[in-house]
């Protein structure tokens, strides 16, 4: 039976650090308010000449190095992003060309902050079907390009970055405790699309359209409603994959949630009864990097030695769409 294992992780964040003190000079806010409400102290901002593909390319190279694999060995490149370089071609194709992985298929996937979980699900299905054996999944975002820097409620939340994993097929005989992706659970609720959205820039309100609202090209969010739904649905997804595997929250070595807001993460932790050592949080340094947040946090945890062979790891996400999901894997 074919299974999917993580062969290597990688990440990249831009050099520029934007602190809360800098935001205090831009909008009516304060470091104290931002930290208390979100847990964020700083975030990374892409340089003027950096696009999403540049961030994703750097993360991909780091993941390939960790896996000890050449780009030419890749058969599929999947990029989860809500901020592509352009409408088309896919950002994945741009990264493919820069990597020199010309034998690989490449496409983008749009599920906003849940994009990486969705990407893992798609890649796992391809591998289990036998279609591909070596797959690169990237979560990359330049959220600073769609943030309204005059909206103090949202501009403090987001940052730029990219993370990646190399997935490989294994034909080892299935056994209890074997490494690999175990269960993934993904969902969506399009009726709540306007909880988090960028209404302009597509075919509904095209670029250059005479808009009633000239700021439709920027991100909008209904924070209070989003908080409640995010906590409830991430908990449900987490419990589903845990129950499917016949394990308990106590058995988890690491939980890597989407880094949206410290209050959301703490609420999830409380509901699942997690210990502090189990939860990965780095949003204080990076903010919400959308589809990039889980792979960045996973890579940092792996390189810090927080996860070892045989450990159970739970990934959790929630985002625009609305979308949400969970992946349980054994390292």
Residue 113 annotated as catalytic: yes
- Residue 322 preceded by cis peptide, ω within 30: yes
Strand partners, 254: 313
Active site annotation includes 62? no
| Residue 82 pLDDT greater than 60, yes or no | yes
What per-residue confidence (pLDDT) applies to 223? Answer: 85
**Is 155 noted as a catalytic residue in this protein?**
no
Q: pLDDT of 104-114, one tens digit each?
A: 999 999 999 99
Which tens digits make up the pLDDT trace of 203-213? 888 877 655 57
**Catalytic choice (62, 134, 233, 258):** 258
Place of tokens 């820097």: 149
Which listed residue (62, 93, 113, 233) is catalytic?
113
Full set of structural domains in the chain with CATH: 3-170 (3.40.47.10), 180-330 (3.40.47.10)
Q: What percent of the chain has pLDDT over 70?
A: 97
Q: Does residue 19 carry a pLDDT above 70?
A: yes
Q: Any idea which of 39-48, 211-220, 295-304 has the lowest mean pLDDT? A: 211-220
CA–CA dist 116, 293 (Å, integer): 9
72 pLDDT exceeds 70?
yes
- Run of H or E including 324: strand 323-330
Report the alpha-carbon distance of residue 41 to residue 142 in Å, rounded. 18
Evaluate whether 63 touches 136 at the Cβ level (below 8 Å). yes
């Amino acid at each position: 039976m074919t299974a999917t294992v993580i062969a290597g992780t990688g990440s990249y964040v831009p050099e520029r650090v934007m602190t809360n003190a800098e935001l205090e000079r831009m909008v009516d806010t304060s470091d104290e308010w931002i930290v208390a409400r979100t847990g964020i102290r700083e975030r990374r901002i892409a340089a003027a000449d950096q696009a999403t593909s540049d961030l994703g390319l750097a993360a991909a190279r780091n993941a390939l190095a960790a896996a000890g694999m050449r780009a030419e060995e890749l058969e599929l490149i999947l990029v989860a992003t809500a901020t592509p370089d352009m409408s088309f071609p896919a950002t994945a194709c741009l990264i493919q060309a820069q990597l020199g992985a010309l034998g690989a298929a490449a496409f983008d996937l749009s599920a906003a902050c849940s994009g990486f979980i969705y990407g893992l699900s798609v890649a796992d299905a391809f591998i289990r079907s036998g279609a591909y054996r070596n797959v690169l999944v990237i979560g990359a975002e330049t959220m600073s390009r769609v943030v309204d820097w005059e909206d103090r409620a949202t501009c403090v939340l987001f940052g730029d970055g990219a993370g990646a994993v190399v997935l490989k097929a294994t034909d080892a005989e299935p056994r209890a405790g074997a490494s690999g992706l175990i269960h993934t659970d993904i969902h969506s609720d399009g009726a709540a699309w306007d909880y988090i959205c960028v209404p302009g820039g597509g075919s509904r309100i095209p670029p250059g359209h005479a808009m009633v609202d000239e700021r439709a090209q920027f991100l909008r969010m209904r924070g209070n409603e989003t908080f409640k739904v995010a906590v409830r649905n991430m908990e449900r997804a987490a419990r589903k994959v845990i129950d499917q595997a016949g394990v308990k929250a106590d058995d988890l070595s690491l939980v890597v949630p989407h880094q949206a807001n410290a209050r959301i993460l703490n609420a999830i932790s409380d509901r699942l009864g997690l210990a502090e050592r189990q939860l990965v949080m780095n949003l204080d340094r990076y903010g919400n990097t959308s589809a990039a947040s889980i792979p960045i946090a996973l890579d940092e945890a792996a390189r810090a030695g927080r996860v070892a062979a045989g450990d159970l790891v739970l990934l959790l996400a929630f985002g625009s769409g609305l979308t949400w999901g969970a992946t349980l894997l054994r390292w």
